[in-house]
Amino acid sequence: MSGNVDATGHVSGNGLFEANGIRVYSPVNKPKPDEIGAYPKTGGVVDGNVSARVLTGNALRINIGSSLDDHLHVEIVDGVGRIMHKRNGEWLADLKLPDRSGYLSMQNSALKSRNGWWKCGDEGVVLQWGYSEFAAGERYVEFEVPFPYECRSFSATPITNEIGVLNLFRLKEYPNRHGFRYFVGAEATNVVWSAIGY
């Protein structure tokens, strides 16, 4: 057959049809996702920018895993963006975004104990502190959390009630990402210390 074809109703067929290099699909011969540049239902990898438009309602729901009760809820209420996390039916976090451009970043986090740390969510700076009872001799002390890149500053202060010659406390070498090595003189010494890094 050649030329134009006018048809009333619909044209159907079985199997795969090709005419002059053009593939013809039918209800029984549907295109595969990769043939038309689409993603399969099982998902895929997005390499470029992706935008989402809410057609109904005022919120975008992003499922996490297979559970419908574990998802991110993104919405705009009165000009303020909100991102909420719901798990097992409970809201775990609620982040408000002002009506302006900006970036999301990790929250600050901390371990507020005697030996603890604080991490800056924006810049990645880490502050650590501790109290240690140092016996005489050489010892290695590990930080509560390793610095991701390096320790940039360290200080230690011996605690003593003695008057006169102070018991020697000194670092054997500059602290690394994981901790510091020290040397204490003849008497045991308690020390408070702090470290800054990123």
Residues 164-198: tens digit of each pLDDT: 555 666 778 889 999 998 887 767 778 899 999 99
Give dist(CA 129, CA 60) in Å, integer: 42
Total length of the chain: 198
DSSP string, 4-70: ----SS----SS-EEETTEEE-BTTBPPPGGGTT---TT-----S------SSSSEEEEE-SS-TTS
CATH number of 109-197: 2.60.40.3940
pLDDT band at 4; cut points 50, 70, 90? low
- 157 pLDDT higher than 90: no
> Domain ranges in the chain?
59-97, 109-197
Separation of alpha carbons 87 and 98, rounded Å: 25
pTM equals 0.49
Longest dimension (CA), the chain: 111
CA distance 104 to 22: 47
With 0-12 / 13-18 / 19 or more C-beta atoms within 10 angstroms meaning exposed / middle / buried, residue 196 is middle
Identify the top-confidence range among 1-5, 22-26, 128-132, 135-139.
128-132
Q: What are 19-32's pLDDT values in tens digits?
A: 555 677 777 778 88
What value does the mean pLDDT take over residues 75-87?
70
Alpha helices in 68-197 (DSSP H): none
Mean predicted lDDT score pLDDT of the chain: 75
Give the span between the Cα atoms of 67 and 55, in whole angstroms. Answer: 23
Q: Would the pLDDT of 10 be above 60?
A: no
Which range, of 49-63, 91-105, 108-122, 124-138, averages the lowest pLDDT? 91-105
